[in-house]
């Protein structure tokens, strides 16, 4: 961990603890409650990584990984990130390429979910 990151953690620890106590439910949920389902088929249910990463950094890394994939046409895929959620828009040749693009995006540090707005089989 860098000194700068540790400093941020120290400055945020008390406000986060106060916030957590203020919004915590009075009665904890029963342990048998099923986890919430993802909001769409293109999103993951749980965060992939707890490391703090900026949306700009995530977008750049996803674009770089798509560009390095030999079978994808990265010029046809638009990438945007909001609060760790990566949105992939555009077109790919087939469902295999769609799955590859989704997996590449999910593998980036800091990505919490991926929204699939890709169209397969359109040029």
Residue ranges per structural domain of the chain = 41-120
**Confidence class of residue 121 from pLDDT cuts 50, 70 and 90?**
confident
Does an H or E element contain 115, and which? strand 113-120
Calpha distance 41→67 (Å, rounded) = 24
Listing DSSP states for 70-94 in one string gives: TT--GGGEEEEEETTEEEEEEEESS
Per-residue pLDDT reduced to its tens digit, 35-82? 555 555 555 555 554 445 789 999 999 999 999 998 888 889 999 999
Token duo for residue 30: 């029963």
41-120 has CATH 2.30.30.170 classification: no
Residue 50 has a pLDDT of 44
pTM above 0.85, yes or no: no
Token duo for residue 93: 């040749």
């Amino acid at each position: 961990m860098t000194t700068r990151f540790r400093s941020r953690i120290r400055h945020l620890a008390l406000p986060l603890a106060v916030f957590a106590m203020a919004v915590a439910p009075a009665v904890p949920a029963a342990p048998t409650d099923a986890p919430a389902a993802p909001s769409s088929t293109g999103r993951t249910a749980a965060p992939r990584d707890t490391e703090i990463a900026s949306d700009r950094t995530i977008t750049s890394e996803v674009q770089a990984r798509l560009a390095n994939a030999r079978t994808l046409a990265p010029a046809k895929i638009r990438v945007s990130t909001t609060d760790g959620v990566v949105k992939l828009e555009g077109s790919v040749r087939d469902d295999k390429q769609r799955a590859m693009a989704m997996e590449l995006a999910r593998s980036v540090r800091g990505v919490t979910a991926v929204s699939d707005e890709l169209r397969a089989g359109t040029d």
